[in-house]
Amino acid sequence: MASLVGGAALGAVFGELVNVLHDTFNSVGSDALMFKSILKRFKHNLDLIDPVVKEITQLNEILDHREEETKSLIEDMRKAKELIGMLDNQELDYPSQASFGRELAELDESIVTFFQLHISAQNRRDILQILEKQNFLCKRMESLAIKSGATCVVPPPPDFTVGMDLPLMVLKTQLLNEKRQQILLTAPGGCGKTTLVKMLGHDQEIKGKFKDNIFFVPVSKNFNLMVIARRLYQYISDQVPEFQSDEDAINQLRDGLTKIGSNPILLILDDVWSGSEFRLKKFMFDIPNYNILVTSRTALPGFSFTYYLNPLNDDHATMLLHRSASLQHESSNIPVEAINKIVRGCGGFPLALEVIGRLLDGNPVEAWCSIAENWSNSHYIFNSNSDLLDCLRKSLEFSDHEVIFKECFMDLGSFPEDQRIPVAALIDMWAELHKLDEVGNNAIHNLHKITTRNLANLVRKRKDAGEINKYYNEDYVTQHDLLRELAIFESCQGPERQRQRLIMDISGNTLPSWCTEQDQQPINARLLSISTDESFSSTWCNIQAPKVEVLVLNFQTNNYSLPKFVDKMDNLKVLIITNYGFFPTELRNFQLLKSLPNLKTIRLEKVSIPSLCKAPVLLESLKKISLFMCSIGQAFGNCTIQVLDALPNLMEINIDYCNDLVELPAVLCDVIFLKTLIITNCHQLSTVPKEIGKLVNLEVLRLRSCTDLSRLPESITSLKNLRLLDISDCLSIRHLPKEIGELCKLEEIHMKGCLSLRNELPPSTTNLEQLKLVICDEERAKFWEPIKEVLTNLEVKVAEKDINLTWLLKP
């Protein structure tokens, strides 16, 4: 109410009126008794408003408020003072006394009415004005809070950073370029992406270019387009319009950004999750000097520049661990071996190093040594601090229809640490575990999904890999140690016997306690992976695994026997055996496989195997066998039974880097149901037998990088169902079969790098009416020019030159 009544004048007049009335009321004579009741009522009313008037007077002096709205009240009080003064001086005759009484009563009523009606109305109006001002101030304070850095100012980086100089320089170089930039910074969680962009936002050169137009918005899982647009708009303008839709928010934000000035703009969207690509694209405005920098755990598409942030190297990781643990280099008594083991366990992840450093800060030597011993155990790593687990687990949050990608990621933990994981092996596994197609399309899609999340790396060894139709034998996957531990940790939740994926890593001859119990109970796992080291003595426990569909055996010993419990795995469909030692190892107990009625796929790596056609090893359900870097001189020899009887349903053979293969065994050509025969990187292979013409159901024949192979037999023309012929990098082949035109269903020929093939193609080549694609080098492409005049639908594709001859070497 103080803002509605006058200043000091009201208090002065009111005080004088009260004093005069008090004196007059006490001294009034008998002649004025007729006014006694009026004066009494008047005095009573003034006494009621006296404290209010005094408070108003004090506040008006402080707030310097106006007097216009109380002018009528002041005039009424002055008149009342004069009237009462006349009564005190007894100057009134009888008629005047009557008039005096009426006037005094009217003044009393006027003053009371002013306070009852006028002040009440003004109070209501003033309350509304106060609410309006309060609302304005709240919005103004919210805007000021946002501008002060609550949401859009780049937060300061940590006090100590290491290993960020090179990444910072690379990103700076991009942003200081005059071109508009759309940059993606990607890495797994915990690698320091947010730290790097904070450093970038506070770099003096970057601030010099972008001035005050650097906006930082954390996004995380919920990419709410309208909320982000509102935050940005509040930062650049005091007035935020009401957005009617996402599209309206984007349009108005674009207009707002356009109007903020001529300086370049840098928008940093931190931690954008997979699945937000469509909404993210809407922020890529076509505005001059507008730059956007996105950090994500996923390698999102659609950026002009993508930077993959690598983990810290050992030196930088050690520095960060020392800093996080408050460990002084000079005075440290912690064993170097313990420090190095912890550093390796953290794998260069800054978050892991900081977590373990804080955990060890102030602890004695014994604690360091204990953690160093346990740090290779994924349960210990992630149970020691939930922050690390929560951070890495965010990369595993797939939508409901993408759960299979997480399952495929966890399967990667089935292979040993620091080893390449063959893509072909994953295709074999996933065809059964997840019902993905055996040709690899869906499997490769899943791999790409995992690699774009930075959960693994897919390496295609050849430059022309994208041109080779469904050929993955030389491709492999690598995985960061900490991510492998995450895969194992996720797979190992719950009791061992109840897990769908059971991973056993055996050191020496120490077996898990659960599998040495006398009362052995069956396990429910569909995938069983067992890894042993070089000191394992092949003493197996009796595991009951009736539900296992995929068995992965990894070993390093010179002699290796199949576990005896394998012959009880009636549901086994895929067997993958890998020797990670230096030399091929003889595989014993191979005959145990005879009793497996559902075994469909065998993949053997770096083993020496006995005859596959020797009684009583009958593999009646086997459809696919892959031999990689194996000694197979006896595998198809010494046959005591017909190969078709031993392998009646075999449809695919893969032989890769098997250096003792000089001549393709003719007995293989009796497997008449064979559809795919792949022999690659067998540099001693010189002869393909004429019996190959018996494989009348063969659809794919790859004789790739067999450098000593000088010719293809003419009998190859009997392969009437052949769709693909690949002789790429067969350096010694001088000519194609004369009647190659009889391959009536042939659709593709791959012949890049056939350097000895220098003659014109056989005339019958023009009869290859189904031929759609030829991939060759530039010199061989000339031979196909006259053929294209006849085969008008034929595409001849010149492969990119690859001067890297690593394909000649063992992997």
Q: What is the pLDDT of residues 744-801, one digit of tens each?
A: 999 999 999 899 998 889 999 999 999 999 999 999 999 999 999 999 999 999 987 7
pLDDT (0 to 100) of residue 105: 73
Distance CA(709)–CA(179), nearest Å, equals: 53
Q: Which residues 6+ apart lie within 8 Å of 718 measured at CB?
A: 693, 694, 696, 742
Are 215 and 232 in contact by the 8 Å Cβ rule? The answer is yes
One domain for residues 257 and 184:
yes
Apex CA 223: angle with CA 217 and CA 227, to 5°? 65
Same domain, 301 and 420: no
pLDDT digits (tens, 9 = 90+) for 447-461: 888 888 888 888 887
Per-residue pLDDT band for 30 (boundaries 50, 70, 90) equals very low
Of the chain, the percentage scoring pLDDT greater than 70 comes to 76
User: Of 349, 368, 390, which marks where a domain is finished?
Assistant: 390
List, in sequence order, every residue forming a beta bridge with 396; answer none if it has no partner: none
Q: Are residues 112 and 176 in the same domain?
A: no
- Report the C-alpha gap between 801 and 674 in whole angstroms: 33
Q: Confidence class of residue 375 from pLDDT cuts 50, 70 and 90?
A: low
Lowest mean pLDDT of 69-83, 168-182, 583-597, name the range.
Answer: 69-83
495 inside domain: no
Question: Which residues, listed in sequence order, are joined to residue 290 by a DSSP beta bridge?
Answer: 265
Whether residue 202 is contained in a domain is answered as yes
Confidence of residue 373 (pLDDT cuts 50, 70, 90): confident
- Taking all residues of the chain, what is their mean pLDDT, rounded to a whole number? 81
Top-ranked range on mean pLDDT: pick from 515-524, 650-659, 662-671: 650-659
**How large is the average pLDDT for residues 513-538?**
82
Same domain membership, residue 328 and residue 226? no
Q: What share of the chain is helix, strand, coil (3-state, %, to 5)?
A: 45, 15, 40
643 vs 736, higher pLDDT: 736
Residue 552 belongs to a domain: no
Give the residue from 156, 155, 483, 159 showing the smallest Cα distance to 320. Answer: 159
Question: Rounded to the nearest 10 degrees, how much is the dihedral formed by the CA atoms of 533, 538, 541, 543?
Answer: 80
Q: Are residues 318 and 292 in the same domain?
A: no
Same domain for 407 and 473, yes or no, is: yes
The rounded distance, in Å, linking the Cα atoms of 552 and 501 is 11
Question: Is 46 inside any structural domain?
Answer: yes
Distance of CA 303 to the CA centre of its chain: 16
Q: What is the pLDDT of residue 371?
A: 78
Q: What is the 3-state secondary structure (H, E, C) of 286-307?
A: CCCCEEEEEEECCCCCCCCEEE
Predicted confidence band of residue 52 (pLDDT cuts 50, 70, 90): low
Residue 592's pLDDT band (cuts 50, 70, 90): confident
In angstroms, the CA 468 to CA 470 distance is: 6
How far, in Å, are 200, 209, 267, 686 from residue 216 at the CA level?
A: 11, 16, 6, 63
pLDDT per position as a tens digit, 684-713: 999 999 999 999 999 999 999 999 999 999
pLDDT at 809: 45
Q: Are 178 and 205 members of one domain?
A: yes
What's the token pair of residue 211? 């001035």
pLDDT for the residue 794: 94
Domain limits at 448?
Answer: 398-483
Of 2-16, 238-252, 587-601, least confident by mean pLDDT is 2-16
Give a three-class secondary structure readout of 425-491. Answer: HHHHHHHHHCCCCCCCHHHHHHHHHHHHCCCCEEECCCCCHHHCCCCCCCCEEECCHHHHHHHHHHH
Looking at residue 106, its amino acid is E
- pLDDT band at residue 440, thresholds of 50, 70 and 90? low
Highest mean pLDDT range out of 25-29, 243-247, 524-528?
524-528
- Check whether 144 has a pLDDT greater than 50: no
pLDDT band at 347 (very low <50, low <70, confident <90, very high): confident
At residue 424, what is the residue type?
A
Taking the C-alpha atoms of residue 393 and residue 51, their distance in angstroms, rounded to an integer, is: 68
Tell which residue, 734, 694, 700, has the closest CA to residue 717: 694
The 10s digit of each residue's pLDDT in 202-226 is 999 999 999 888 999 988 777 888 8
Q: Establish whether the linkage from the previous residue to 422 is cis, with ω within 30° of 0.
A: no
The whole-number average pLDDT for the span 512-535 is 83
Are residue 106 and residue 19 in the same domain, yes or no?
yes
Look at residue 141 in the predicted model and tell me its pLDDT.
47
pLDDT band at 295 (very low <50, low <70, confident <90, very high): very high
Q: How many beta carbons lie within 10 A of that of residue 386, not counting itself?
A: 11
Structure-model confidence comparison of residues 475 and 151, the more confident one: 475
Answer whether residue 251 is part of any domain.
yes
227, 271: one domain: yes
CATH, residue 101: 1.20.5
Together in a domain, 406 and 477: yes
Residue 393's pLDDT band (boundaries 50, 70, 90)? confident
Among 336, 367, 390, residue at a domain's last position: 390
- Which band of pLDDT confidence, cut at 50, 70 and 90, is reported for residue 71? low
pLDDT tens, 550-566? 999 998 887 888 888 89
Q: In CATH, what number is assigned to the domain containing residue 423?
A: 1.10.10
Total structural domains within the chain: 4
Please indicate whether residue 69 or residue 78 has the higher confidence score (pLDDT).
Answer: 78
User: Quick one: average pLDDT of 523-528?
Assistant: 92
Instruction: Give the Å distances, CA to CA, from 742 to 725, 727, 739, 764.
Output: 13, 18, 6, 8
C-alpha span between 379 and 505 (Å, rounded)? 13
* CATH number where 368 lies: 1.10.8
Asked if residue 508 is part of any domain, the answer here is no
- Best CA proximity match to 200, nearest among 332, 293, 82: 293
Question: How many residues are recorded in the chain?
Answer: 811
What is the pLDDT confidence band of residue 147, given thresholds at 50, 70 and 90?
very low
pLDDT value of position 660: 86
User: What CATH number is attached to the domain comprising 180?
Assistant: 3.40.50.300
- Residue 146 is predicted with a pLDDT of 41
Q: How far is residue 779's CA from residue 269's CA, in Å, rounded to a whole number?
A: 49
Is residue 410 within 8 A of residue 455, CB to CB? The reply is no
Least confident span in 360-369, 601-610, 788-797: 360-369
Q: Is residue 337 situated within a structural domain?
A: yes
Give the residue among 130, 149, 150, 136 at the shortest CA–CA distance from 238. 136
pTM: 0.68
- Does 324 lie in the same domain as 302? no
Best CA proximity match to 298, nearest among 215, 396, 218: 396
Where among 444, 462, 483 does a domain terminate? 483
Q: Is 550 exposed, middle or buried (0-12, 13-18, 19+ CB in 10 A)?
A: buried
List, in sequence order, every residue forming a beta bridge with 502; answer none if it has no partner: 528
d(CA 693, CA 677): 13
CB atoms within 10 A of CB 590: 20
Q: How confident is the model at residue 654 (pLDDT cuts 50, 70, 90)?
A: very high
Place of tokens 């200081």: 176
In a domain, residue 415? The reply is yes
Residue 346 shares a structural domain with residue 257 = no
451 close to 299: Cβ distance less than 8 angstroms:
yes
